[in-house]
Amino acid sequence: MDTEESSPEENVKEKESEVKESAKRIHDVLFEDFSWEKENSGLVGFRNLGDTCYMNSTLQCLVHCPPLVGLFCSSEFDVDRPGKAPLVHDFSKLLRNVWQGNRRVLAPQDILRDVMKLNDVFLGYQQQDAQELLLCILGNLDDMTQRVLPLPPTKKDLKILAKFEEQERKEQEGKDQEMESLVIGATVTIVTEVNEKGRYGVKLNKVGKCISLRAQNLVPEDVENCKEDEDMEEEENKKKEKPKKLSRPPPRKAFRSPITDIFSGCLRNETECLECGHVSKVLNNFQDLSLPIPGSEMVDRTVEERKATPPPRQGLFGSLLTAVGLTNSQTTLDICLHSFCTSEELIDSEKYHCEKCKRKVNAKKVMSIALLPDVLVLHIKRFNYHAGFWGGSKKTTLVDFEATMDMRSYLHPDFVDHDQNENSEFELYGLVRHNGSLSGGHYVAYCRRPDDAEKWYCFDDRSVYDIPLSKVLQKEAYLLFYCRRTKSDSIRQQVWNVLDKNLNDCNYKDSPDDILISSYFFRKLKHYCHIGPLDNHRLLCPHGKILPVDDKRFVENSVRIPLKSWKALEHKFKSPEKGEIPIIKCIDKDRPKFDCIQCQSQQDYQSVSRYMSDKYKTENFYCIPSGWAEKWREFADPFPTPRVKPPGEIDNSILIDSEGNLLQDSDAYIPVNEYVWKYLIGVHGGGPEVLVPKRKREAQRRKESSEHEAENEEESGGT
């Protein structure tokens, strides 16, 4: 295929501007605040689409979440899975419209449609639970922006691996001996090929002559059954001697997404068996904390066990007013959090299964916070659904909360000094309030401007008005959104200084040593309190391999930096427990087009399916060997396993004679159109090109149309 060649000078200029562009991008990501420049940006009402205030208020708290604004206004996540993640797309669009558009009121019907598809609880236009919606939206954004983060093997894994390799080596020795026995003429079953669906077995008699060929899918047991009876006993004895079979430990990996990076914290759950004293400790991730409003008995226990400050007592007059329903009873967020961390007895129906006693026992459970998230969502459990949605009840207790709070006192002592908890101060940036009864209530949101802690607004569906913070703090909160105080600018500035110096040193010139780095890393530096280690995991495919360089996600999600800068960043941000960071060279001739065999399998499946559609008709048809096509069909798969095997090069030499003429056997090949041929030869290599003779093609076409009528289409391979 022809490509337009550009002159070498043009090439250099283009590359130079590319490098400068990267530097500008890094600078913008680190320092520019694009979103809250305008007086009115962010002050957009959402139209009620029929009892959708639960959605409107939740969305307001998400579009005012500082790190989310910074991340999702960029197109970085939008290009992640084009066409396959409607909520990511629509949420990004909404954020841009809120912060960069000119409309005063928007109708978020796209998002409503997306969440209805995700969970049919939201079908219909009735009042729903704001917390449930929040978890639904965060869950989907998490799934759709997730990447694999490969982790190094544990010490235990390494031990198993060593034993496994030893076993493999011994097995190989055994196999070699078996092959020898074939030569001297014993009855053996050789397994010729292992594939996903089973094994292909060939049975031979004593002198090595093939007596049956089984090409159907044989499971290993069937292969065993092929054996002649006289050999069975001997085999049985051998089996008994075999030690337990080990398998290769699976590679360790974690799934990360910007949503987990922002909202995920970690809870420590300790349960003590009251019979044997065994203590189990478990760490669990959370995206929000659901806090029950403690009753008076629980409050007393909390105050005693955790030395918490008791909530202000209501005087006699106050209690009277509460009793007749004129005022609400009162408690504090501090007591709710402390009571969440207070021990709880698991007895009667809640008995706990002790792993030591191996039965249900009475136990004591204590929850505490191990790791703090960057954005902490607190859900005050006001609704009691035990009697079903319509028969439930609502607690109207006023929960006193502050605009700032320190989470240190709720941390487990072992985790107080953990890196991720370095800063435990949080600032309130938004809340959702529920007004009225369970079935007929109304939701409203209150949010502040990201750059001004004093400027608060009420978002009541389409109307938006300002409100003093003192009034916001008196509201009956249902969901509270706290953002961790970001660190000073110093780290950002230090990183920029290093990058700027290195870029200056090389005069912003392109170097073959340049490294590509995930731009997400710079976004983390800008928006997150807890930055975490340097990593490139957003440049990896879902299977943990480096994406192909021409992949759209790669182009949008990476910036090039000098090798020196990479080394400096590695030195500052590398974390040994996160394993090796893949170093991605800007120019790497040795890198295969596809690093990942699973991605290639998917790509083959999708591309060939597309090229076989009616849109891609061509004049010429090309031969590919039937045997190769068979292997390719096994390979191309929309959901391939890691063990998928590529078909190898296309070898057409078996189809032609020494003069290059096509041999007569028409079963030996299948014809494919030009698009399919060019794609397959481009990816898998091989040759030579063999055209299907015209006469054959006519016959093929007739056959095709009759097949078409019979509606008997093959999914892949030949046309």
| Interface residue list for Zn ion (CB under 5 A) | 273, 275-276, 278, 354, 356-357, 541, 543, 545, 596, 598-599
Whole-angstrom distance, CA of residue 592 vs CA of residue 274:
59
At closest approach, how far in Å is the CB of 86 from Zn ion? Answer: 23
3-state secondary structure of 211: strand
CA nearest neighbour of 373 among 530, 505, 481, 547: 530
- Please, what is the Cα angle at 532 between 513 and 510, to 5 degrees? 15
User: In terms of CB distance, is 354 or 584 closer to Zn ion?
Assistant: 354
At closest approach, how far in Å is the CB of 258 from Zn ion? Answer: 20
Residues 6+ apart with CB under 8 A from 543: 148, 596, 598, 599, 642
At closest approach, how far in Å is the CB of 636 from Zn ion? Answer: 14
Sheet with 584-585: strands ordered across: 558-561, 515-518, 584-585
Q: What are phi and psi of 343, to 5 degrees?
A: -65, 155
Whole-angstrom distance, CA of residue 76 vs CA of residue 138:
17
Peptide bond into 647 cis (omega under 30): no
Estimate the share of the chain in helix, then strand, then coil, as percent rounded to the nearest 5.
40, 25, 35
User: In terms of CB distance, is 369 or 596 closer to Zn ion?
Assistant: 596
Helix or strand run (H / E) with residue 632: helix 626-635
Whole-angstrom distance, CA of residue 445 vs CA of residue 53:
9
At closest approach, how far in Å is the CB of 546 from Zn ion? Answer: 9
User: In terms of CB distance, is 278 or 487 closer to Zn ion?
Assistant: 278
Whole-angstrom distance, CA of residue 354 vs CA of residue 503:
60
User: In terms of CB distance, is 201 or 548 closer to Zn ion?
Assistant: 548
At closest approach, how far in Å is the CB of 545 from Zn ion? Answer: 5
User: In terms of CB distance, is 271 or 486 closer to Zn ion?
Assistant: 271
User: In terms of CB distance, is 346 or 670 closer to Zn ion?
Assistant: 346
At closest approach, how far in Å is the CB of 273 from Zn ion? Answer: 3
User: In terms of CB distance, is 275 or 588 closer to Zn ion?
Assistant: 275
At closest approach, how far in Å is the CB of 304 from Zn ion? Answer: 26
Decide if 226 contacts 189 (C-beta within 8 A). yes
At closest approach, how far in Å is the CB of 121 from Zn ion? Answer: 34
Strand-strand pairing, 558-561 and 404-406: unpaired
User: Residue 344 has which token pair?
Assistant: 């709880």
- What's the full length of the chain, in residues? 719
User: In terms of CB distance, is 222 or 551 closer to Zn ion?
Assistant: 551
At closest approach, how far in Å is the CB of 353 from Zn ion? Answer: 9
User: In terms of CB distance, is 641 or 712 closer to Zn ion?
Assistant: 641
The radius of gyration of the chain from alpha carbons, rounded to an integer in Å, stands at 33
